Amino acid sequence: MKQQSHIVWKLNVVVITIVSLVIVVFAWFGHLAGEHYTRESARQILGFHSASIVQGVEDLMMSNSRDGLAAFLEDLSAGNPIYDGLRVVSHEQGQVVVCRSGAYDRVYTLEDWECAVCHDLEDPERAGYAAQDTIVDAPRGGRLLAMVTPFVNRPSCRSDACHAHAEDGEILGLLAADYSLAALDPSSGSRLIRTVLVTALAVAFSGLILGLLLRRLVQVPIGRLIEGTRRIAEGNLSFQFPAKRKDEIGELERSFNAMTTRVRTHQAELRDAMEYLQGIIENSADIIITVTPRGNIQTFNRGAEQALGYRREEIQGQRIELLFADPKDREYALNQLVHTDNVRNFRTDFRAKSGEIRHVLLTLSRLRDAEGNPIGTFGISKDITEERRLIRQVIQSKKLAAIGEAVTGIQHAVKNMLNALKGGSYLVKNGIQRNNMPRIEEGWGMVEEGIERMTTLSLSLLNYAKDWRPEIEPVDLNGLVAKIHAVFRETAASKGIALTVHPAPGPADIRCDPRLVHMGIVDIVSNAIDACAWKDYPEGETPRIVLSVRARDGGQSYEIEVGDNGCGMTKGILKNIFTPFFSTKKQWGTGLGLALTSRVIDVHGGTIDVESEPGKGSMFRIVLPTSGPRQRKESADGQEGSADRR
Amino acid sequence: MAKKVLLIDDDKNAVKYLSVVLEENGYETYAAYDGREGLQKIQELNPDLIVLDVMMPKKSGFTLFKQLRRDEQYKNLPVLMLTGVAGVLEELDEESADTSARPFDSLREALRRTIREMRSEGLIKPEMFMDKPIDSAAFLARIQAMIGG
C-alpha cells in the first residue's frame, strides 16, 4: 500500500506545485497591474492638481504678492499630509522663490532632475512644457511622487506692470511639488498580503480536491490491480479482474485477464508436455540416465532401476562412474562427445547393484540450455544382455543344426552309395556261387561305381570345406562356355535334350578363375540336364537347354544364363538350393553342387539368381564383374556368401 | 507258374540287384526305368506284384501308385515301395520328432507329408515300404510274405 500512496502523493505534489506556480504568477501580475493603475491614477490626479496650483500661483503673481503666494501655498497644504513639499522656483536664477516647508537656500542647477525635465545636458536649448514626475524615496520614509510643472511666459506676464517679464524666455519658473504616496503604499502592501493569502487558500483547496480525485480515480483501482497482480504472482492464475471500467485501467485489467488465461493455457500445455515426456522417460524399457556437468546422477528412470537394481533415491547424486563396469569407458564415451554432441550405440558394460554385468548399447547426448551452455549429459542405454545371450544361443544352435544337416546330408548320400555296394557285392557273391562270370563282372562294376561316387563325395566335401583362393587370369567367357557345350552336347543328345549356345557378340573377356567358373557352370548345366530327364514332356514339347553369354552395364559385367524347360522347382525347393547338403537327387546327389557354385560366384564378386516354375523350367543367371573380384579375403567371402543364401 | 514281379526304378543297378535276388528264388522279373514305362509294363504284363521306387523321372512312384489305386483293375495289385530318402519311415513313426529343426529339408518333409496323407486316407501301410539300402534277405522275405513263393 505504501507504494501506491507514494505515486499518488508524488502526483499530488507535482500537480499542486504546478497549480501553485500558476496561481502565484497570476497573483503577481495582478499585483503589478494594480500598482501600475493606482500610480497612474495618482499621477493624473496630482498632475491636474499641480496645474491648478500653477494657475493659482500665476493669478497671485499678477498681484505681485509674494506673501500672498506663500500664504496660498501654506493654506493649500495646511493639515494635509499629502503635501510633502511645494516650491516655486525662478527659472532665471534657479532660486526657490516661494516654498512651503522647504529650504529656500536650495539653488537648482541643470544637473537636478527637475531641470532635466526640459534641459538636456547634451543640448541645453531643448525645452518641453509638459509636467514631469518621478517617484523617489522620502528622506523620512515612504515614497514621494515628485512632480515638476513649468510656468509658461504668457502675454499677460509680459504686459503686466508689476515686473513685466522679457519676451524672450518661454519658461518663467516651475512648481516642484512632492506629494507623499504614503496613502497609497499601505494599500498596495495589504493587497499583496491578501493575494498571498488567497493563493495559499486556493492551493490548499485544489490540493484537497485533487487528492480526493486521485484517490478515487487512480489510487483505488491501482491498489486493486496491485492486489490482483500480487495474487497472480503468488501463482493464483485463476484470478480474474472485474474489468468493468471503460478507461485505461479497465483496459489494463482486461489485458491482465487475457494474459493470465494465456499463461494458464500455456502452463497446462507445458504440464501435459512435461508429463508426456516424463511418462516416456519413466515407462521406457531402456535405461535412461541424466548426469550433471560434474558427473552426478540426476535422472534415473524405472528401466534403469529394473536393469541395474538400484532405487533412484539411493543412486541420485552418486558418481556416474559407479555404474560403469570399467570407468574408463565413460571417459572414452565423453571424449567422443568433445567432437560431436552425441555418441550412438557405444558398446559398454554396466555393473548392476548385485555386481552382475549388463551389456548395453549407450547413446549419449549433451544437454544444453537455451543459450547453448552444457547442463549435463543424457544417456539412453539399451540392455542387450539378454539379446546377446540369445544370439550366442542361436549361433550355438545354428552351429549344431549345421552339423546336423551336414551329417544327415552325408548319411543320405552315403546310404545311396551303400545301396550300390550292397547290390554289387550281392551279385559278386551270387556269381561266385553260381560260377557266373558275367554276373561277377556286373556286380564288380556296381561296386566300383559306388566307390567312385564315394570318392567324388569325399572330394566335394573337401572342396567345400577348404579355404580356397581363386587364381585370377584373363578368360574368354565365350570360349569357356563353348568348351562346356562340347563336353555336354553328346550326353544331352543321348537323353533327347537339345543343348544350344548363344555366345556374346564379339570378345567376352573377363578376369576370373576359369576352373572355378567352369565348375560352377557345369554344375548348373548338369542340373538342367537332370531336370529335363525328370520331366514327362507333353506332346509337341521337346527338352532343351540354352546357354547364353551377354555383356551388361556397358561391359562392366557379363551375364551367363542357363535356361531349361525341365521339371522346374517348387518354392520350397528353390529356397534351399544353395544350402549345403540339400539335394533332390535320389542317388548321386551330394547336395553340395549349387552351394559350391554360389560360393564360386561370391568369391568373384558376382551374383547368382534363379527363376523357376514347377513343370515349366528354370533359369539360372550368373553375373560376373568384368574386372574380376575386388581384393578381399576369400575365406570371409565364402562365409558371408553362404550365410546370405540361407 | 512263377509269380511275375515288375521292378520300376530309374536306378538300373538297383533293378539289376533286386531282379537277381528274385530270380534266384524262382520269381519271374521285369524291369521299367521310369513311371511312364512302368504303367505301360503293368498294363502289358499284368504282374502279381510291383516293386516301385518312390522317386522317379517322368512319373513319380506316388503318382503311379495313386493312379493304380483309383483303377478298378489294379486297385488290389500288391505294391512294395522303395524310398531312397534315408530315415523317412523311421521318422514317420516318431511323430513327436521336432521337424522344425531342419526346415531346409523340404524334400524329406514333402515326402513325409505325402506318406502321412496317404496313410490317413488308408491307401498305404507302413509295411508297404522299404528303405534303401536294401538287404536281400529282408527284401525276399517281404515279397514272399506278400504274394507267397
Please count the CA atoms within 13 angstroms of the CA of A212 that sit on its side-chain side. Answer: 5
Cα separation of A155 and A621, whole Å?
160
State yes or no: pLDDT of B98 exceeds 50: no
Determine the pLDDT at residue A103: 58
What share of chain B in percent tops pLDDT 70?
Answer: 81
Helix ranges, A435-513 (H)? 437-465, 477-494
Nearest to A416 among B16, B20, B132 (CB): B132
A447: nearest Cα among A463, A471, A425: A425
Q: Which of A47, A153, A176, A172 is nearest to A106 (CA)?
A: A176
HEC secondary structure over A595-631: HHHHHHHHHCCCEEEEEEECCCEEEEEEEEECCCCCC
Compute CA distances A43 → A192, A320, B115, whole Å.
21, 107, 156
Cβ contacts of residue A378 below 8 Å, gap of 6+? A288, A289, A290, A291, A364, A365, A366, A367
DSSP codes, A272-336: HHHHHHHHHHHH-SSEEEEE-TTSBEEEE-HHHHHHH---HHHHTTSBGGGGBSSHHHHHHHHHH
CB B105 within 8 A of CB B91: no
CB of A386 within 8 A of CB of B57? no
CB nearest A401 (choices: B16, B87, B101): B101
Q: Pull the grid cell for residue A522.
A: 557345369
Considering only CB atoms, A573 lies closest to which of B58, B84, B107, namely B107
Choose among A506, A522, A513: nearest CA to A560. Answer: A522
Question: If you measure CA to CA, which chain A residue comes closest to B59?
Answer: A536
C-alpha cell at A611: 527363376
Q: In what order do the strands lie in the sheet with A96-100?
A: A96-100, A83-90, A171-180, A143-152, A132-137
Cis-peptide into B133, omega within 30 deg: yes
- Contact yes or no for A623/A564 (Cβ under 8 A): no
CB < 8 Å & 24+ apart, contacts of A220-223: A221/A245, A221/A249, A222/A4, A222/A7, A222/A249, A223/A1, A223/A4
What pLDDT is stored for residue A406 in this prediction?
A: 76
Global pTM value: 0.48
Query: Can you give the pLDDT at residue A101?
Result: 58
Position B102 confidence tier, pLDDT thresholds 50, 70, 90: very low
Those residues of chain A that have pLDDT short of 50 are 1, 632-646
Three-state secondary structure of A109-173: CCCCHHHHCCCCCCCCCCCCCCCEEEEEECCCCCEEEEEEEEEECCHHHHHCCCCCCCCCCCEEE
Q: Match 500455456 to its residue by C-alpha cell.
A: A266
Chain A residues with at least one Cβ partner in B under 8 Å = 401, 404-405, 408, 411-412, 415-416, 418-424, 426-427, 430, 439, 442, 446, 449, 533-536, 570, 572-573, 575-576, 579, 582-584, 586-587
What pLDDT, on a 0 to 100 scale, did the predictor assign at position A287?
93
Q: Are A214 and A12 in contact (CB under 8 A)?
A: yes
Do B33 and B60 touch, CB atoms closer than 8 A? Answer: no
Contact call for residues A439 and B24 (beta carbons, < 8 A): no
Do the beta carbons of residue B120 and residue B92 sit within 8 Å?
no
Grid cell 538297383 in the structure block, residue: B14
Check CB contact of B1 with chain A, cutoff 8 Å.
no
Q: What is the DSSP code (8-state) at residue B11?
A: -
How far, CA to CA in Å, does A11 sit from each of A14, A209, A216, A226? 5, 13, 13, 18
Contact A404 B57 (CB under 8 A): no
d(CA B42, CA B62): 15
Specify the pairing of strand A83-90 against strand A171-180: antiparallel
pLDDT in tens, A211-252: 888 888 778 888 888 888 888 888 888 888 888 888 888 888
Distance of CA A158 to the CA centre of its chain: 111
Distance CA A192, CA A200 (A): 12
Residue whose C-alpha cell reads 518661454 in the numeric block: A170
Among candidate residues A238, A241, A211, the one with its CA nearest the CA of residue A227:
A241
pLDDT of residue A633: 43
Cell 504282374 sits on residue: B47
Q: What is the pLDDT of residue B101?
A: 41
Of the candidates B35, B86, B106, which has its C-beta nearest A573's C-beta?
A: B106
| CA nearest neighbour of A581 among A422, A472, A419, A465 | A465
B49 touches chain A (CB under 8 A): no
pLDDT of residue A338: 74
Between CA A42 and CA A145 the distance in angstroms is 9
pLDDT in tens, A81-131: 788 778 888 877 777 777 765 556 777 777 777 777 677 656 655 555 566
Distance CA A502, CA A363 (A): 57
Does B66 contact chain A (CB < 8 Å)? no
Over 70: is that where the pLDDT of B110 sits?
Answer: no
Contacting residues of B for A533, CB less than 8 Å apart: 57
On whether the CB atoms of residues A130 and A174 are closer than 8 A, the answer is no
Which single residue is written with the C-alpha cell 552315403? A414
Name the residue with cell 504568477.
A25
Rounded Cα–Cα distance for residues A169 and A231 (Å): 99
